[in-house]
Structure formats: structure tokens, C-alpha cells
Chains A and B, each alone.
Chain A
């Protein structure tokens, strides 16, 4: 039996819940409702004429090759960002967990990038990889690699992936480090006495014990790559060249804000909302069943 707090009246629990409910209503239900309503309409930019079109906007979005392209880009992009950011962060955390001279300095330095705003991060990478003024961009061209992300779609994708992963690295690093430090030293020492080499200790003890952290971070990273990388993409490539780095969230912006096609843009956000709800549901089920604590 779970413990329950029993309130005598109804008023007090409602009053205690009210702030949270209000926030959820104002910042989620209201705008989400607006988006659903807008997605059924077709309007001119100034809002003078309004036509109810049913599901036509959805039909158009789903049959639009550029939306499919954006969906594929999102998959590639978020997969690579999550993989890269998690892998590197784990590697760095394992290194930082060793007893080193100046380990705290090293750790603090690794946490820094998290404090950098996405647009600023993008500009930093721009200074490195811009083919005309960037240090690495010029270097690559000098050694004979035709580096120009403004024209080459794959290079543009690589660039936004690197920038987005770098930005998330610090966050992952903190969590992995905390996870590593909570693994009891006695277990590792026992394994070492039994003759397990470092690599074996890592894969059979550390990695499984880190799995809750890893899974949590995986979900956080996927959501990050899906929804919070707008600034990086906007500042680096604006979704180009030729839509090579246009993700779903970026397309919502392009269609709604730049092209003022509110109906289509709303339909896309509704589709995104359904995707997120799906992802979250999977996450909760998986957290309950699969992940070993």
C-alpha cells in the first residue's frame, strides 16, 4: 500500500495544485490548442481572410517531399548528435574520474561549454570552419580538401552536428562524472584483485552500472537535438544549402515565420507534438521496465 495524504476538503488540494495547473494551461494547453485550431485553417498573413480546410494542411505536409527530407535530416542529425555527445562525454568523464593532478581544473574546463548560448557556440564554430576566414576551414582548403559547407550539404551537416554535440558535451559530462563517482570503489577494487583489466572492468562493471544515467541522457540528448538546436542551425547554415540541414523544427520556423504560411506551419507543429508525446511515452515505459538500476 502506498501512503496517502488525506485532505479533508477539496479546496485546499485544488489551491495547492492551482499554480502548477495554471502554468501548464497557459504555456502548454492554450498554445497547443491554438496550434491545433490554426492547423485546420488557411489564412493570409494579415489575418483578414480565413478558410476552414479540415485536414488539408496535414495532407499537404505529409505528401511534401521537403517535409520528408526534413524528417530524414532530423533522424540523421539527432542520431549523430546524441551518439557523438554521449560517446565523447563518457570517454572524457572516465578520464576525468582518474586521480589526476589538477583534476578539478580539468573538470571545470569541460563544464564550460554548457554556459555558452547556442548562437554563440555556432559563431565560435563558424570562426573555425568558415572557408574564407576560419582557421580550420582555410587549413582544410590549403591541404587540398575542398571544404565549403555553404555549398556542400554533407559538410554542412557535419558542421552542425559537431557544433550541436559540442554544446551538449558538458551536460553529459557532468552526469557521467556524477554517475562514475557513485560507483563504489570496492566493487572495482575487488574486480582488479580478481585480475580484470581496465577495459574489462569498464564494460562489465562500470558501463552496466551507468546504464540509468546513459538512458536518461540518451532521451535528453535526443530531445535536445530535435528541439533545442534551432539557434545553432539558424546561425550556421540557415537550413541550407538546398535544405541539407533543415530539420523538422527548422522547417516549422521557415514556413511559419519566414513564409507566413501559418496553416502548414501549425500542422507541422502538431505532428511534432504527437512525436514528442510518443517519445515520452516510450521513455516512461522503458524506464519502468528495461533499465537496470
Chain B
């Protein structure tokens, strides 16, 4: 009897203490999170937010899909001007220059870590990824999350049919050209294609060969950078691509990710694409396929080097021009960041999606779990990103303002060259002039930030 009373009293007391906690738990602080990943990746990303919400009660991350990366970026910028910006914005890598120049619209990652005291170690991010999102003083501005790089995917069945070794993809462009010719001779209508024409055939190509895309270390050192697109390597490569297309070795299959489907459907034998395409290929391809590093031109000094990253990072934004985030909100952002970069979560994300493990700890965790032994080729992206040691100023990345527009210009002029309207030299010269115009406009409007 006495014991029962005691127990009842204890429960009553406990619930008394618990009361304020449950009351608080009923109203967690909402963290708005806008992303630009479509299915199936978007669902996987939103699942992370749901898992985070389930793991604690103080914060609630509300993910919201806002269209493509560029649509998401534009929506967030418009929202900022209207004082309703999200806490976290997923911004693709070409928008990095724009965000870096956004001044007080952005709350830098290093400030969030310092102010919230949440344990996120910036040194855990692998070099090329950390460098991409670091300011001039080396401090990180954004949280890298779904970083990818570009690699080669090829159809082993078709290689076999053409009498090529299915397990040895040629390392050089010279070798790729020869292989494409054999594939064509074996009756394959589309020996090779590329996704993201500008990213793959211009930006990655230059980084791998250690050739600058723009002056001032590809724009890392200032807004007064000038494009360097008329260099001999690009002339050589674009001329090759145009000739290969005429010969039927290469097929231009559209801008951005428009060429993604032609590989998993078994139409094209070789594609150059984001490492993030891996998830789709493993699900859809009905043939033996392999992955390899991007080819390079034999005889170019300094090649091959590391490739640069793509994909997106998370930027914390202020609510509007005159509204700052509260410390509690920033703490919520930091806690979410800590959760998604913790080794098990990050390793799982990497393995499920084909994105690069952006932290060393996630890479090690995947290694120890034997993931790369069970999935041969899954470590190619990260191996390629770490190739050649520390990145050079030409392979660190690209930090140009208005680069979204410049990339469209590059793709447009490439299309003109493929149509035969202009020669490759003319196309490159035109890209350079038009792109520089964009850079000067950006410099002019962002001088004072």
C-alpha cells in the first residue's frame, strides 16, 4: 500500500517536471529547408529531415521542393527580398560565386559553428570539397552535402560486342576515340555522348589538365577575373568533338542533364556524367556496365589531375535584408548539419546515391563496411577527386559570379559549333566575349557588397 502510494507520488512528481518539457516539445522551432532534388533523390533527402525530426524534439526541419536547382536559387533570392527566405537553401555549385558575393544575406558556416558551439569539424571535409566552399581566408561559408563529380560510365556488353576489353576503359582521349570508332564499326549508333556539356567538356576538362578557365585562380581571388576559353586545349577538344559528331562517334544529346537517360536505356555505349547518375543506372540498366575516370589528353603537361566537384551545398540564409536569425534558429540549423554529416548518415547517403562522401569519416566508414569491395567502381569519383594531391589554383574549382548565365552561354555556343553554324574557334571566342560581359556586369553590381 505504502509502496504504491510512493510510486504514484513519484509519477506525479515526474510528470510535474516533465510538463514544461512536453509543452516545449509540442512547439519545436521550425527550420525551413528548400531543396532542388527531384525523385528519387529528393525523397531520400526529405527522409533525412524526417529522421532528424524524429531524433530530437526541439527543432523541426521542414523540407520543401522548389523545382530545379536554378529555380530553387531564384525562389530563395526572391524570398529574401520579400523577407521570407528559408533557413537553409540547397544551392548548386555554379551558384557558389553568387552566394559568396551575397554578403549579409548569408550566415557563414564558420560563424554558425562558432556561435552555436555545435560540434562540426570543418577539417573532416575532404580537401577539394572544403576548398570549393571556403572564403579567401580559408573559412567555410557553406556546408557541402551532396557533392558529386563527373566520371565515365560505359556499357560492357557493347564493348564486348566491339571486341574491346570490357574491364579496361581507355584512360586517354586518344584511346576513347579509337574505342568509339570500333563501337561504331560494330554497328552501335551512338558510341558516346555527354551530360552537362559545359561542366564535363569545358570545366572538368580544364581542371583535369591543370589549365585555367579564368584568370585570378578561376575567380577565387576576386571579381575582376577574365575568362580563358580560347586556350589551345579547348580549341583542340571542341574541334575533336565536332569532328567526332560528324563522323558519328559522338552525339550531342542536350543541355544540362538532358543526356542522362540515353545511357541507362542502352542507347549510347559511353557517357560522361555526374557520379550521382550511378543510382539511376544501377536501377534501370539491363546490361553490364562499368565506371571509369574521365579521360585526358596524353602529352599535356600536368595531366591528369583531380576533377572538380558539382552537386550542391547548404547555405544558411538570413530571413531578409533587415531581419536576422535568432540564436535558437541558428542552433537548429547547426544541429541539423551535425546530424546529416555524422558518419553513419553521410556514409549511407553516399552509398545510396552515388554522391561523393564529403567527409573523411564517412569515406572511412564506407571503406570499413566493405562497400567498395561489394560495389567495384563506387570509389572512382572520390579517387579521381583526390588524384594528384592538393588541388592547384586551376583545379580547385570555379568561383565566378553569374556563372549560371555563363554556363548557358557556353552550352549555346557549343550547340552552334555542333550545328556547323560557326567553327570551334569562333564558338570559343564568342563564349569568351559574352561570358566576360556577364562577369563585368556582376562585378559592377556587386562592387559594394
Contact = CB atoms under 8 A, between A and B. Distances in A.
B404 A259 contact: yes
A46 interface: yes
Interface string A233-274: 000001011110000000000100111110000000000000
B255 interface: yes
Interface stretch (A103-111, A150-158, A219-227): A150-158
Interface string A131-152: 0100000000000000000111
Nearest to B70: A258
Interface residues of B, number: 41
Nearest to B416: A242
Which interface residue of A46, A47, A151, A260 has the most chain B CB atoms within 10 A?
Answer: A46
Contact of B77 (A49, A51, A132, A260): A260
A48 interface: yes
A240 B81 contact: no
Contact of A46 (B105, B252, B402, B415): B105
Interface stretch (B170-178, B269-277, B439-447): B439-447
A45 B254 CA distance: 28
B77 A46 contact: yes
A152 B265 contact: no
A243 B253 CA distance: 16
User: What secondary structure prevails in chain B residues at the interface with A?
Assistant: helix
Contacts of A242: 412-413, 415-416, 419, 421
Interface string B406-418: 0010011101101
A240 B445 contact: no
Nearest to B405: A259
B98 A49 contact: no
A152 B258 CA distance: 15
A240 B412 contact: yes
B166 interface: no
B74 A260 contact: yes
B412 A46 contact: no
A151 B415 contact: yes
Contacts of B252: 150-151
Interface string A269-288: 00000000000000000000
B421 A150 contact: no
A243 B262 CA distance: 23
B326 interface: no
B405 A241 contact: no
B345 interface: no
Contacts of A258: 70, 74, 404-405, 408
Contact of B445 (A43, A132, A257): A43
6 contacts: A42-B441, A44-B449, A151-B419, A258-B74, A259-B404, A259-B405
Interface of B: 70, 74, 77, 80-81, 98, 101-105, 252-255, 258, 261-262, 265, 267, 321, 402, 404-405, 408, 411-413, 415-416, 418-419, 421, 438, 441, 444-449
Interface of A: 42-49, 51, 132, 150-153, 238, 240-243, 254, 257-261
Given A42-B445, A46-B77, A240-B411, 8 more contacts: A44-B445, A46-B102, A49-B447, A132-B261, A132-B265, A150-B258, A238-B255, A241-B419
